[in-house]
């Protein structure tokens, strides 16, 4: 991101320039890797194209990556590098887990004194020019090398990398099936460096139609499908004002021809709210993730959990694993591209929910003998018809579903875009506290110096602050001990 010329930032400019020069020098001294990277290792790649944007290419692929796997492009923020982003962002975890390759473009001090991608320079961020063209050359090289599914190429980026991500989605909608803009800017918000500050620190006052026109004008005459876009923004970001997330939402919902009221809203860890905007077929097209209290940076959540990832550091903030939720929004946690030729079922729709179930329907696919239904990436059913009701779910919880057609030989076709079903009722709430405070909060009661959970009357031990328990509220005012997990 192009930082302001304020007194606070000027004090660090000299140091940043030295660090940028050092990083550029280390890159120059690094040994050149062969064009084909070793599986399971982050490697520099040379000779990927004419490279008009003077970028460096790095890539990562898990061992044994099959053909027809997705490809993700991940762009770092200012003062960062490809290896830094690979180590902190969490994308390696999900590349290994769900099977896809990752390309990490890297810019440097020769392009920008703070190693920022030039999202504000029309000679570098427009179709066929500069850094944008270099990134697409990297995509072409990696897709040929790994025989990637060209229908499942995605791009994500932080800060200045997020601004460049939005530009790439506008410039090359035929290349990218989806994108994620993390603490970034709308596509073509600024066309000169002098205009960049106006985008960073305040709204431009444009209508959704005017924002959408900036995308449509980036590739005049384009009539194909538009990328699906995830937007991540911290509410306490003072480097990229939160209004940019609103403008990004306005921009891409207008491009998709849908309104700004969300189709669905749900809460995620780390004080995160997700607003989803569905297309005319009921599939998520745009998602806005707002992280309460987060400053400028990429949302990560270190830990071993399925929905955790990354490592904290400068501009890597411990809140929620954005890479996990972005990958799921793109459908990377699904069954993959499939070995068969059947197309993805259209009009996958959630037709109803109860406290413990969700019902789905979809359009029939010619040649399908059955359909695989996947909940959160795991196959849960193989109905022969075009509907399914999933049971045994938790109340007040959200689940992601995709559907793939299966031919008579058992070959699985392309999976659908995911849809989200949220069961009715209230999700169980858990409270971890000492026995004294559990009683004070009205979740337990004491008798003769011992404590018992309200409702279940389970024994919790002595009435003091030295004994800790987790209580789960399974229904109103009914609590059970849940020390082993809630």
- CATH number of the domain bearing residue 391: 2.60.40.10
Q: Do 305 and 224 reside in the same domain of the chain? A: yes
Read off the pLDDT of each residue in 339-365 and give the average, rounded to a whole number.
Answer: 89
144: how many CB neighbours lie within 10 A of its CB?
11
What does the DSSP assignment read for 165-224? HHHHHHH-TTT-SEEEEES---TTS-SSGGGHHHHHHS-----HHHHHHHHHTTSTT--S
Comparing 23-37, 184-198, 218-232, 259-273, which segment has the lowest mean pLDDT?
A: 23-37
Q: Reply yes or no on whether the pLDDT at 29 is more than 90.
A: no
41: how many CB neighbours lie within 10 A of its CB?
11
Q: Do 317 and 394 reside in the same domain of the chain? A: no
Q: Do 285 and 378 reside in the same domain of the chain? A: no
Confidence of residue 193 (pLDDT cuts 50, 70, 90): confident
Q: Do 293 and 407 reside in the same domain of the chain? A: no
SS3 call for 323: helix
Q: Reply yes or no on whether the pLDDT at 22 is more than 90.
A: no
Q: Which of 267, 298, 330 is at the close of a domain?
A: 330
Q: Do 243 and 284 reside in the same domain of the chain? A: yes
Q: Do 390 and 281 reside in the same domain of the chain? A: no
Read off the pLDDT of each residue in 222-238 and give the average, rounded to a whole number.
Answer: 95
CA distance 189 to 196: 8
Domain membership of residue 42 as a residue range: 7-330
Residue 235: inside a domain: yes
CA distance 409 to 229: 35
150 closest CA partner among 125, 175, 121: 175
Q: Do 118 and 175 reside in the same domain of the chain? A: yes
In tens, the pLDDT along 389-446 reads 999 888 888 888 889 898 887 778 888 888 889 888 876 778 888 999 999 999 999 9
- Active site positions, annotated: 159
Kindly report the average pLDDT of the chain as a whole number: 88
The residue among 252 and 398 whose pLDDT is bigger is 252
Comparing 33-37, 98-102, 342-346, 476-480, which segment has the lowest mean pLDDT?
A: 33-37
Share of the chain above pLDDT 70, in %: 89
Domain count, the chain: 3
- Predicted TM-score of the model (pTM): 0.66
Q: Which of 422, 442, 467 is at the close of a domain?
A: 422
**Beta strand ranges found along 43-111 (DSSP E):** 43-45, 56-60, 71-75, 101-106
The residue among 417 and 82 whose pLDDT is bigger is 82
Q: Do 194 and 304 reside in the same domain of the chain? A: yes
Residue 46: inside a domain: yes
Confidence of residue 5 (pLDDT cuts 50, 70, 90): very low
Q: Do 273 and 379 reside in the same domain of the chain? A: no
Predicted pLDDT of residue 30: 33
- CATH number of the domain bearing residue 231: 3.40.50.1820
Q: Are strands 101-106 and 71-75 parallel, antiparallel or unpaired?
A: parallel
């Amino acid at each position: 991101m192009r930082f302001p010329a304020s007194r606070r930032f000027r004090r660090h400019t000299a140091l940043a320039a030295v660090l940028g020069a050092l990083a550029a020098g280390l890159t120059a001294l690094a040994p050149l890797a062969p064009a084909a990277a070793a599986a399971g290792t982050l490697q520099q790649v040379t000779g990927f194209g004419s490279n008009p944007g003077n970028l460096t290419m790095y890539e990562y692929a898990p061992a044994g990556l099959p053909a027809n796997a997705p490809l993700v492009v991940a762009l770092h923020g200012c003062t960062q590098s490809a290896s830094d982003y690979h180590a902190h962002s969490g994308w390696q975890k999900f590349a290994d887990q769900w099977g896809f390759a990752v390309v990490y473009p890297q810019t440097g001090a020769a392009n920008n004194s703070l190693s920022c991608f030039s999202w504000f320079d029309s000679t570098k961020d427009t179709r066929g020019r500069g850094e944008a063209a270099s990134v697409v050359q990297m995509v072409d090289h990696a897709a040929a090398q790994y025989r990637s599914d060209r229908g499942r190429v995605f791009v994500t980026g932080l800060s200045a990398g997020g601004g460049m991500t939005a530009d790439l989605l506008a410039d090359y909608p035929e290349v990218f099936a989806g994108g994620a803009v993390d603490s970034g800017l709308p596509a073509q918000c600024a066309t000169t460096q002098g205009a960049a500050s106006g985008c960073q620190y305040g709204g431009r006052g444009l209508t959704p139609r005017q924002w959408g026109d900036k995308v449509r004008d980036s590739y005049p005459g384009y009539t194909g499908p538009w990328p699906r876009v995830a937007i991540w923004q911290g509410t306490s970001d003072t480097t990229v004002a939160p209004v940019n997330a609103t403008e990004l939402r306005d921009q891409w919902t207008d491009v998709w021809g849908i309104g700004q009221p969300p189709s669905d809203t749900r809460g995620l860890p780390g004080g995160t709210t997700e607003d989803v905007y569905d297309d005319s077929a009921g599939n998520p097209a745009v998602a806005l993730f707002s992280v309460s209290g987060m400053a400028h940076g990429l949302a990560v959540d270190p830990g071993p959990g399925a929905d955790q990832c990354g490592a904290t550091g400068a501009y890597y903030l411990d809140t929620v694993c954005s890479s996990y939720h972005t990958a799921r929004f793109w459908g990377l946690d699904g069954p993959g591209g499939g070995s068969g030729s059947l197309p993805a079922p259209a009009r996958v729709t959630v037709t109803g929910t109860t406290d413990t179930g969700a019902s789905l329907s979809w359009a029939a696919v010619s040649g399908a003998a059955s359909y695989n239904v996947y909940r959160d990436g795991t196959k849960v059913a193989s109905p022969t018809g075009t509907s399914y009701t999933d049971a045994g779910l938790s109340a007040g919880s959200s689940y992601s579903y995709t559907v793939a057609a299966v031919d008579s030989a058992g070959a699985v076709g392309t999976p659908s875009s995911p849809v989200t079903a949220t069961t009715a009722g209230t999700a169980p709430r858990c409270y971890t506290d000492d026995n004294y405070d559990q009683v004070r909060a009205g979740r337990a009661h004491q008798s003769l110096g011992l404590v018992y959970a309200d409702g279940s009357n389970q024994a919790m031990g002595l009435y003091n602050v030295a004994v800790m328990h987790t209580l789960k509220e399974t229904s109103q005012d009914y609590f059970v001990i849940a020390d082993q997990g809630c």
